[in-house]
Structure 1
Amino acid sequence: KGEVLDALQELTRLAVHQKTGERSRLMLDISQWRQRRRDELAALGDKIARRVLESGEREELSPMTPFERKIVHDAVAGVQGVRSESEGVEPSRRVVILVD
């Protein structure tokens, strides 16, 4: 699920902050894991959005990180007639897709 990658990324950001005094938006991607995950989530958002549009029924996705939810929200925004919202509290915050 990328927990080790997230931990390495956070440690790297902390090291950069300690060295420079500035916050970093650095994002690590090892073996293109993040890119593959981004592609999977975009496809999932599009697929579920189209299913919601057809069925008229709202759908909730599994809990995701803020990074993952943003990708899904962006994918849903590309489908007319549906919208997405985030519900819940971290770490159980999830995307909900509804008919607009």
Structure 2
Amino acid sequence: MRVVEKSAKTVEEAIELALTELDLDENQVEIYVLEQPTKGFLGLIGSKNALVRVTEKYNVVDEAQKFLKKICSMMEIDPNINIVNNSEDNLEINLTGDNLGLLIGRRGDTLDALQFILNLVINKNCEKRIKIILDVENYRSKREETLFKLAKRLSEKAKKTGKKIVLEPMNPHERRIIHMSLQEDHRINTYSEGEEPYRKVVIVPKKI
């Protein structure tokens, strides 16, 4: 964030000088009047100019886009950065373009890491925490649908064979999807076992 201090005969003039230097509008900055102007004795002796400090407001969307452009440039990738949702507490970003598999990684590992770092970088300068969800070519919704179908298929297998089924290691978010997908099926139980990052979901058929 850029900060400038300007002095002039009036507060308004000092603010205008600062805005001109920053090339910003008044609604894009925060203004602090450090000193009010004084006329002094007979308007001559001891007079003081106004002094203001003008600070550029922290723009979450702009900063997130700058960060992503920098990272993608280092990876020699040039995606489109689409703002899906921008509310007071949440920011959803979806990257689209060609050859973006590198940003997703194996089962979304790279995407999750980028999202984690992006949240750290942006929230470092935010007064109020904002949750940022980063996606690439709607990978997360597609992955969620895949996990839902997997959960249903394996639950049927568990009920048919009467044996428990242990899934591959998943991150907490994906395990939660499996649990929620099967929570209405009263013929099975699900639980997680193991330590991160190798924690797995177990599907167990209930004995009738």
Same fold (TM over 0.5): yes
Decide whether the 8 Å contact of 1:53 with 1:99 is kept in 2: yes
- The unaligned stretches of length 5 or more in structure 1 are none
Distance 1:26-1:99 versus aligned 2 partners, 3 A rule: same
Coordinate RMSD, CA, aligned: 1.3
| 2:123 counterpart of 1:35 | no
Structure number with the higher helix fraction is: 1
Counterpart AA for 2:154: I
Residue 79 of structure 1 deviates from its aligned partner by: 2.1
Q: How does 1:46-85 map to 2 (within 5 A)?
A: 46-85=152-191
Q: Deviations over 1:13-57 (max 9, x none)?
A: 102220114444322111011111100001111111111112110
Counterpart AA for 2:161: S
Structure 1 or 2, whichever has the larger Rg, is 2
| 2:166 counterpart of 1:44 | no
* Correspondence for 2:205: 99
The separation in 1 between residues aligned to 2:161 and 2:130, in whole angstroms, is 43
Greater relative CO (CA pairs within 8 A, separation 6+): 1
3-state SS in 2 of match to 1:29: strand
Of 32-41 and 16-25, the range deviating more from structure 2: 16-25
Aligned length: 100
Percent identity over the alignment is: 32
TM-score, length of structure 2 as denominator length: 0.46
Decide whether the 8 Å contact of 1:16 with 1:22 is kept in 2: no
Decide whether the 8 Å contact of 1:88 with 1:94 is kept in 2: yes
